Amino acid sequence: MAQTQDTGEQSSRLLIDAGPIGVWILVYNGARALAGSDAIYWGTGAYMIAATVALIMSVRIERRIPPMLVFTTVIVLGFGAMGIWLRDPIFIYIKPTIINLFLSYMILIGLALGQNVWKIFFSHIFELTEEAWTLLAIRWAIWFQFLAGLNEVMWRHITDSVVPQGARWFAGLELSEAFWSNAKLGVLVLSVLFAASQMPLILKHQPKKDAAADA
């Protein structure tokens, strides 16, 4: 029974993480045939709803308010609403950059102030040494910086939307809005692989327990 419950919770958490992105891709690509250039707004609206549902599900499963998910959901709703209200997709394009930079600097500023927010967020899942928590936090901060930079490169080179020529960084690089939209799935996969690559660090730095206590 316990194993079945754990499997159910893991499935729910996977749905929480990947569900909104799946909804985004399905609605955006479906709306392209019906709404044309307005597909970005249809996808954003659906993503906002899915992100809110995911937050509610997370609170029900964990029986606590997950701070990081709350922060990211607020940014999703804020920039998504501005993009739809102003009919300006730039707000939607830069949203991943803002989220990733926010998470990165939240970690780095926390460490500078003597607070490891990564430990605060995930100490209920892992039990690690202080050294490992610090190293893990720094790695994730760098990863979020990478994702922010990747998003900047992609949206600045969208050529079939309202992105101005002066926003581009690399001459000759041309991407479509559909590429940027569907790349969210690739970014999710990369993030999962990055998280998996941290498992050796997590396993290596489990605190050593007293043998008598284990007995």
Q: Which among 121, 116, 139, 148 has a CA at the least distance from the CA of 195?
A: 139
**177-201 tens-digit pLDDT:** 999 999 999 999 999 999 999 999 8
Q: Give the single-character DSSP code of 36.
A: G
**87-101 tens-digit pLDDT:** 999 999 999 999 999
**CA distances (Å), 135 to each of 113, 140, 199, in order?**
16, 9, 13
pLDDT band at 13 (very low <50, low <70, confident <90, very high): low
**152-171 tens-digit pLDDT:** 999 999 999 999 999 999 98
Residue ranges per structural domain of the chain:
2-207
pLDDT band at 15 (very low <50, low <70, confident <90, very high): low
Distance in angstroms (rounded) separating the CA atoms of residues 31 and 193: 30
Helical segments of the chain, H only = 2-35, 39-62, 67-86, 90-112, 117-122, 130-156, 177-197, 199-204, 211-214
